[in-house]
Amino acid sequence: MKSPLRIVMIHGLAAKPSRKRLLEQWSEVLLANLCYEDPNAAMQAERDECMRMAWWADAVPDHVIQSEAEADTTSAGLPQLLAERERLGSGFHVEAGAAAQEYYRDRGADLMKLLELAHTAQDLDLQSLHELRLYYADQYIADRIRLPLERELRDAWSSGCRVALLAHSMGSIIALDVLWRFSHRAEPEFADFRAAHVDYLATLGSPLAQERVRHLLLSWRHEGERAFPGNIECWENFSCLGDVISRDTSFEEAWFAPMRALGLLTASSEYLSLYNPWSDAGGTRNPHKSFGYLVQPRLASRLAQMLYRHY
């Protein structure tokens, strides 16, 4: 009998609601996405109560937790998002050239505005974002930020669960640092789990393709196997067109190819130029929003497979 699946999720920057509320929101979207892909898989995920949130928002001293009223506003936008997911089916991949123009026009979106947004943000200094700056400037805060994910992974592995790790935006940076520590640090809290691995890592709207971001990781001074985590079995990267953080860029050269060459990665895929259907209450689109990544059909397909069997 196969081991149960634990789906561990880690959020990114900006104001977040309480841990309980954010877990409810992410779970609602992910379960609905699974249901569109495979209703039986969605029922199994709900029955197993397999979703966990590595919530680190309170690790930053001056972080203001999003109010319940603000969380209500976000939740009010979820039905429209899920309706769009149902309407589009598997059609979330944006083709190149003129086809992309038609694709966005059919969805009431302005492709040129999204591309202009991405272009004008090419010089975005991610280090200027307050929470990211603190993560690299203050190791006490960084340890507090990493701790919730470390605890969730230890709990999953100690319970004999397979792990699917979904990491959005800055959450992907935290995830890589945490997995690297489990791979290479000598302290017992890491070394005792040296043989454990993440069965599936999905990076969503991640900046890890950017060289200056990679140079801020714990692994950046190292070479060879020590430059990478050694506990990821399958890694897939998702990037949406117009996302100013991921910039629709490939992980192949920086991550996938060298890790495969070192025998550190069994399988890898990336899905670029995806469509993120999220828009706020005022109709303003945000192609970086986590919920628009959680409804990606390819993500649901992978998780549905994992709920039944190994890939």
Q: What is the pLDDT of residues 226-276, one digit of tens each?
A: 999 999 999 999 999 888 888 878 999 999 999 999 999 999 999 998 999
Task: Report which DSSP code applies to 15.
Answer: -
Residue 120 has pLDDT above 60, yes or no: no
User: Tell me, what's the pLDDT at 188?
Assistant: 97
pLDDT for 20-68, tens place per residue?
999 999 999 999 999 999 999 999 999 999 999 999 999 988 777 888 9
The CA dihedral of 236, 240, 245, 250, to the nearest 10 degrees, is 50
Side chain identity at 31, as an amino acid letter? L
Residue 310: per-residue pLDDT: 40
Which two tokens mark 8? 């561990």
Answer for the pair 217, 180: CB distance below 8 angstroms, yes or no.
yes
What is the phi/psi pair of residue 80, to 5°?
A: -65, -40
Cβ atoms of residues 187 and 29 within 8 Å: no
Give the pLDDT confidence score for residue 135 in this predicted structure: 86
Higher pLDDT, 95 or 154: 154
> How far is the C-alpha of 299 from the C-alpha of 256, rounded, in Å?
18
Alpha carbon distance 203, 205 (integer Å):
7
Confidence of residue 101 (pLDDT cuts 50, 70, 90): low
The pLDDT confidence band at residue 121, using thresholds 50, 70 and 90, is very low
Threshold 0.85, pTM exceeds? yes
- Pick 124 or 298 by higher pLDDT: 298
CA gap 7, 161 in Å, rounded: 10
Give the span between the Cα atoms of 147 and 1, in whole angstroms.
31
Q: If we measure between CA atoms, which residue out of 119, 311, 51, 87 comes closest to residue 200?
A: 311
Nearest-5° Cα angle at 53, 49 to 56: 160
